Amino acid sequence: MLGSFQRDTEGSDLISPKLSKGPDRFLEIVSHFNIKHNNLIVILTGKRRNYLINEFNKNDIQYRYIEMANFEKINELYNILDLYIVSSRYEGGPQSILECAASKTPIISTDVGIAREILNDKSIFDMNNFKFAEPEIEYAYERVKNLFIPNGFKAYNEILGEMN
C-alpha cells in the first residue's frame, strides 16, 4: 500500500492539481508501481483529493479514501503503509516527513522542506531517479526522535539559557 495524506487540488477549484504538492508526480510514481504490482492500493486522506481520485478512476488504480481521519486513524493508516511518498515541488514542512519518521513508516521524498534534516540521502529523489529511492526507516527515526518531547525541549531550553 502506498500513501499520500495531503490535498492535491487548489482552493475551490476541485479539478486543477495543486502543483506545489506534486499530485501529477505522485500519479506518475503510482502508475509506475501499479504496473509492477497488480495488487497495489493507494491510501488517501484529507480534503480536496479530487484530482488524484479522478485520475485513479481513469487509470484503474485501486485506492481507499478516508476524507477526514482523526489522529488515531491517521496513525493507524501510517502503520499499514508499505511506502509513503512526498512528491512536492516545494513545501515548508511537510509534516508527513516527521510523522512517517516517528511512526517508522517507510518514506521517500523529493528534496523539500525538512527532508534533508530527517531522511537519508537514499530516501530523497527527483523525478529522474524515484525508481531507485530507498526508505531508510531507522535513520529517519533516529533523526526525528531528537525532536520528541522532552528531547526537543532540551535543545530549546539550552538555546534559551544561552540567551540569558
Number of domains making up the chain: 1
Cα-based distances in Å from 17 to 26, 29, 62, 150: 11, 15, 19, 39
Tens-place pLDDT, residues 5-38: 988 887 777 778 888 899 999 999 999 999 988 7
Tens-place pLDDT, residues 60-83: 999 999 988 898 999 999 999 999
Provide the CATH number for the domain around residue 29.
Answer: 3.40.50.2000
pLDDT for residue 152: 55
How confident is the model over 37-61, as a mean pLDDT? Answer: 92
State how far the Cα of 19 lies from the Cα of 128, in Å rounded to an integer. Answer: 18
pTM of the model: 0.87
pLDDT for residue 37: 84
pLDDT, the chain, mean:
89
Range(s) of the domain holding residue 129: 2-163
